[in-house]
Amino acid sequence: MHRITLAVTLALLVPGAAHAVTGAQCASAMDFDSNAVGPVSYPQGVADMAQVTSNLGIYVPFEGSTMCILSTGDTANITNMFDYDWPGTGADTSAGDRITVEFDVTVPPWANSFFFRHNFFSREYPEWVGSAFNDGFEIHLTGAAWSGQMVFDSVGNPISVNSAFFTVTTPALLAGTGFDQDGSTGWLVSIAPVLPNDVITLSMTIYDTADGVWDSAVLLDDFEWSTSQVTMPYTDHADPEGGFQNPPPPPSDYAPAIAYVSPKEGARVGGQLVTLVGARLTDVTDVFVGDAQVPVDVLDDSTLSFTVPSAADAGVPEGGPVTVRAVAGNLQSSLADAFTYHPADAPNTQSTRPSDPRVDLVWPMTLAPGLATDIEITGPHLAGGRVELEASSGERIALDVQAEETGAVDVLTVALPALTEDVYAVRVHGKADSAIWAHWLRVESPPTADAPSGCALGGSETSWMWLFVFLVAARRFTKACAPRSS
């Protein structure tokens, strides 16, 4: 299992009792590295609503000897079926009791996703099934690859007694939990995409709705990074090994994805040609920049272009960041703060240092070891630049630029020698400055069994997927290219 480093702050609203735990203890129980983790913040709730345990009735951790519990009630009395209305945590409002655990996480340079296991219990079952007044559990992810509430069932419902996942209602399967006459989801596993080296925020919340009683709880356990590639979050019941009972659907079933736009800023007058980079963009028919719908020119499955409207049309006449949204039929995705208009007190120009290069994309992003091929480097002000790789050992490799295309963004076609398995920084030296890609060029064999059992496609499907990706890449380049990662 791969471990991580957390950047965290502590903000407990009320001092906890003896059984309450610190954020660091809770994070360690969720299988973060206890030597690297600091205190985790509780923006909502009190310390007695969290606890570390080795079991809850018949339920035990998937990894390690402990797991963390969050509850809308008093965690010291969960197994006694004791409901507790916390004063000052929303019980006197429509919100009800709630606790939120939140932390920032730095993604390792090799990771494409993360997995997480959770099990939601509620005393709302069976009395309040079908009602809107039900407790819920949510995990909000903020990151460059994906942002939003990431735990939902196949029809988009959050986790509650109304969720399709709430299927464990037999007392024998709930023995000793304190929810013996109620129900739970059983163990679920969620996966979500990330970009290497990004700093993501995870915010986990369990909450009452409309009252402070009829308590619920959630077990949190076994967080791990993975090289498995997905394009949006997916949740399913866990198998006995912690993997998916049913694997995620193929990427073609997902909505379009937005990784970034380039350039990322511009003048308030608009009129700037912008490239959007992502995945499954072929069927995109509409793009919205803030409040404004703009015409779109789809270039291929991973890129499209559009002309930025004025800041006034986008809904920010004084300048500032806006959300970019891509729509394909009834599927859509958005990226917050994707483009920023220069503020009203700044010069209304396109760039303050137009000669500075910037690397927005290296394609493909993953190569097979021992394969000499070409890559494309895209970004503004790259023409005439000198390109080199830097291996993890510090070795620098000068590369030959085969061709240049200039425009709103420049494209360099660069010849690569056969490389050994490693991660490489990509740097372009311009006349006045140099730019390094924010991610890594990975040279690696196709992933095998890194994900938990049941998480990846079967052997024949995986082989078909890599063949398909290889053929798509072969159309883009004159030489053989390795499979694409995202």
Higher pLDDT, 37 or 202: 202
pLDDT band at 486 (very low <50, low <70, confident <90, very high): very low
Query: Mind listing the pLDDT tens digit for each residue in 256-288?
Result: 888 788 888 889 999 988 889 887 788 898 999
Task: Give me the mean pLDDT over the 140-169 stretch.
Answer: 86
Q: Which residue in the block uniquely carries the two structure tokens 């379009």?
A: 256
Query: Mind listing the pLDDT tens digit for each residue in 52-89?
Result: 999 999 999 988 899 999 988 888 888 876 666 665 55
Please tell me the distance from the alpha carbon of residue 255 to that of residue 444, in angstroms, as a whole number.
28
CB atoms inside a 10 Å sphere around CB 160: 26
Label the pairing between strands 148-149 and 216-226.
unpaired
Judge whether residue 20 has pLDDT over 80: no
- Domains of the chain as residue ranges with CATH: 6-248 (no CATH), 252-341 (2.60.40.10), 361-476 (2.60.40.10)
Here the tokens at position 365 are 């992003």
Supply the Cα-derived Rg of the chain in whole angstroms: 24
pLDDT band at 95 (very low <50, low <70, confident <90, very high): low
Please tell me the distance from the alpha carbon of residue 128 to that of residue 120, in angstroms, as a whole number.
16
pLDDT band at 40 (very low <50, low <70, confident <90, very high): low
Query: Residue 193, Cα to own-chain centre: how many angstroms?
Result: 4
Dihedral sign, Cα of residue 312, residue 315, residue 317, residue 319: negative
Please tell me the distance from the alpha carbon of residue 188 to that of residue 168, in angstroms, as a whole number.
12
Do 234 and 248 touch, CB atoms closer than 8 A?
A: yes
pLDDT band at 412 (very low <50, low <70, confident <90, very high): very high
Task: Give me the mean pLDDT over the 87-102 stretch.
Answer: 62
Query: Mind listing the pLDDT tens digit for each residue in 179-192?
Result: 999 999 999 999 99
